[in-house]
Amino acid sequence: MSQATAPRPLDGITVISMEHAIAAPFCTRQLADLGARVIKVERPGVGDFARNYDERVNGLASHFVWTNRSKESLTLDLKQGDATVILDQLLADADVLVQNLAPGAAARMGLSFDALHERFPQLIVCDISGYGVGGSYQDKKAYDLLIQSEAGFLSVTGTQDDMAKAGNSIADIAAGMYAYTSILSALLLRGKTGKGSAIDVSMLESLVEWMNYPLYYAFENASPPPRTGAAHATIYPYGPFGTGDGQTVMLGLQNEREWALFCEKVLQQAALTTDDRFSSNSKRVANREALRALIDETFSGLTAAQVIARLDDAQIANAHVNDMHGVWAHPQLRERQRWTTIGSPAGDIPALLPPGTSNAWTPRMDPVPGLGEHNQHILRDLGYDDARIRALRDKGVI
């Protein structure tokens, strides 16, 4: 059996998702990558509001294209009784319900785990919210930048003068990843118990988990890591350095063996290895300005290519500082054949294959759905004929 026809890990698993923005869609897209059938329930005429963030991908929104391939879009006005009947029919055969609606909205609609478990004991229910269930922040609305702020991420990111947000939706991504892995764990548990379980994922807790290094660095009121731009706050030299041809090279040292090689082969000043100012990482951090001046003096007489050649010869980790155009053209992604093509309402578009290549199966890479594109197909599967589907459409149910 070839990889293309081999079964995928989540073949036969059905996920119903009432999702918007990034955290839940990113979670469910990864479930779809593994073969799950993901039915995305959207509001008629409006849909996931991330559909309208921008028009950068042939008229489609960049966030939406990223997080919604391989899904089926079903529009339902859940304020109407006919729509809730359809949702119940879907949940009866589903394995997972994922939702990141406004705080409390799913529970008010009777879609909490407690409300569903007696009727659908096999169902795994995953709730994703800003602050989780319980606590005084439970009902606060939360967006990615707000969670970056609450989790302390902004306090350690940026320059000495100005804090900076992450350039992508890091809090949403963290929550989406923990929801994804928690659902996989719940599916494994259900295989042992036969019962579904409830999952509560907090964006705040997800990002705070990723903040544990700076948290422990500031343990018992110690000074937190300072904001140092693109340089590492507590390891040096580790960050960007200019070269004589006006370019920038990123490099990083991790231990004393690398420091000796850096002095000998890159700076070509072996005596610095025993310079007391730089004899440990903490001393190099404390004297970073003096060390930077020495590095700049050497690098100013070299091109970026020459600096990288020296770093490679010394086996010192280094990198180019790419912009988005550089990433699109990255030779490693091209050489490893990591780009493929998927369909969309705006035609074929490129898509990056998911990380984690398997020799046993290939990821599902199906089109990005149009709003309500799969209404007729899904409803026919539930036993609705064309006349009933037309009536539902005329009533604004779908």
Write out the catalytic residue numbers.
Answer: 232
Q: Which amino acid is at 376?
A: Q
Q: Using alpha carbons only, what angle is made at residue 41 by residues 35 and 46, rounded to the nearest 5 degrees? A: 130
Q: Write the Ramachandran bin of 7: left for phi over 0, alpha for psi from -120 to 50, otherwise beta.
A: beta
What CA–CA distances, in Å, run from 223 to 23, 154, 214, 215, 238? 32, 16, 10, 10, 20
Long-range contacts of 354-358 (CB under 8 A, 24+ apart): 354/30, 354/33, 358/3
Show the tokens assigned to 285: 């951090």
CA atoms within 13 A on the CB side of 107: 12
Cα separation, 119 vs 107, whole angstroms: 15
What CA–CA distances, in Å, run from 316 to 216, 253, 276? 28, 7, 22
